[in-house]
Amino acid sequence: EAGVVQSPRYKIIEKKQPVAFWCNPISGHNTLYWYLQNLGQGPELLIRYENEEAVDDSQLPKDRFSAERLKGVDSTLKIQPAELGDSAVYLCASSHRLAGGNEQFFGPGTRLTVL
């Protein structure tokens, strides 16, 4: 079974530029999460989807961040415009609400560097 796929793995951009990250969850997983992981810190939830509905986006900075999960499968997280402080690892995770308890499966992450 394939794991959570994220792309790109690395991205370097200049400040004020837009950037997008893509996530393909494990097949059949209806819950999808985006986390932000700053250097030396644990991940922090940005947004959680149940199918195509964003059910918890309270930590998403909506002035510059947006996310979508069309058709309840793949998801895209966008930052526009990026700021220096957005340099971090962006993690995607997925889980199946009705199976396996509350285990979340994580992708390898996208490391963003804003210059």
Using CB under 8 A as the criterion, which residues of the chain lie in contact with another protein when the complex forms?
A: 3-4, 31, 33, 40-45, 48, 56, 91, 93, 95-97, 101-109
CA dihedral 46, 68, 91, 50 (to 10 degrees): 70
Query: Cα angle at 99 between 89 and 71, to 5 degrees?
Result: 60
Q: What are phi and psi of 30, to 5 degrees?
A: -90, -15
Minimum distance, C-beta of residue 55 to another protein, in the bound complex (Å) = 10
Distance, CA of 28 to CA of 18 (rounded, Å): 30
- Closer residue to another protein, CB minimum distance, 11 or 81: 11
Minimum distance, C-beta of residue 43 to another protein, in the bound complex (Å) = 5
- Closer residue to another protein, CB minimum distance, 81 or 87: 87
Minimum distance, C-beta of residue 48 to another protein, in the bound complex (Å) = 7
